[in-house]
Amino acid sequence: MGLYILISVLILIACILLILVVLVQNSKGGGLAANFGSTGQIMGVRKTADFLEKATWSLAIALLSLTLISILVIPRGYATKGVQDTELREKIENMQPLPPSMIPPEQD
């Protein structure tokens, strides 16, 4: 159960970071990179765009991987399945038929 919670938190963090990285980008080539247009910057416009693209792909791959891993660690509750199944079978076997007065008439 603890591993499932940990992976769920990592998925949530990856989703939030992916949303932020995508919102920072501009589809027409501007976005965050447009603010760093001066030539004195260490990271120029092109490097910022490359970083944002790599971050987007990395986060998307991480999100996909985490969701696939989470399938393997979902708690299934095998211990209680047999008990619930037995209780359900007992209820079905002990059911009494409805008296004729409670059965609604058939409509054509």
Contact 70, 4 (CB under 8 A): yes
Task: Give the tens place of pLDDT for each residue, 35-54.
Answer: 555 544 555 556 777 888 89
Separation of alpha carbons 103 and 98, rounded Å: 7
SS3 for 40?
coil
Q: What percent of the chain has pLDDT over 70?
A: 73
Domain coordinates of the chain in residue numbers? 1-36+43-76
Task: Give the tens place of pLDDT for each residue, 54-70.
Answer: 999 999 999 999 999 99
Quickly list H helices, the chain.
Answer: 2-24, 32-35, 45-73, 78-93
**Which positions ≥6 away from 70 have C-beta within 8 Å?**
4, 7, 8, 11
Whether 71 has a pLDDT exceeding 70, the answer reads yes
**C-alpha torsion angle, residues 34, 35, 37, 38 (rounded to 10):** 180
